[in-house]
Amino acid sequence: MPSKNTLKELRRQAAQKQAWLCFYCQLPMWDAGPTEFLAQYAISPALAKRFQCTAEHLEAKSDGGKDVQINIVAACIFCNATRHKAKYPLNATKHAAVVRLRMAKGKWHPPQVMAALAKRRMAPV
């Protein structure tokens, strides 16, 4: 079985490929700790918690999904947990469609968070 470190490495590789934007909601995520994130986006620690970067298995582990690069994307803990919390979890593609639809309507993350993070995302680096 792959070690925990392998999954962490796969998650980091995926996050880098995604420019540290959540696979589902496309908002920025933090990795080691939220300190910089809090300073950068000026949102509350409670709200920042949901943007912790997690490894998301496209094919869920419960369905036999493996810890391999092709099956791992980086997602914020909120989007990740929301998918797997459902009684009948959607597959990753369908969950992504639901999240993006709700994001477009401003009904996924709290409005103040969406505003703060989306603004920063579009600002030139």
Min dist. Cβ of residue 89 to Zn ion (A): 15
Q: For 108, phi and psi rounded to 5 degrees?
A: -125, -65
Q: Which one, 48 or 79, has the nearer CB to Zn ion? A: 79
Nearer to Zn ion, 5 or 119 (CB): 119
24 near Zn ion, judged by CB under 5 A: yes
Closest to Zn ion by CB, 22 or 72: 22
43 lies in the binding site for Zn ion (CB under 5 A) = no
**Residue owning tokens 């910089």:** 36
CB of 98 to Zn ion, least distance (A): 12
Query: 22 or 116, CB closer to Zn ion?
Result: 22
**Residue 55 near Zn ion by CB under 5 A:** no
Find the binder of Zn ion among 10, 14, 15, 22 (CB under 5 A).
22
What is the 3-class SS of 1-61, one letter each residue? CCCHHHHHHHHHHHHHHCCCECCCCCCECECCCCHHHHHHHCCCHHHHHHHEEEEEECCCH
User: Which residue's structure tokens are 């540290």?
Assistant: 20
Which phi-psi region, left, alpha or beta, contains residue 109 (left: φ > 0; alpha: ψ -120 to 50)?
A: beta
Scan for tokens 């796969």, then name that residue: 10
Residues in 66-95 at the binding interface with Zn ion, rule: CB under 5 A: 76, 79
Binding site for Zn ion (CB under 5 A): 22, 24-25, 76, 79
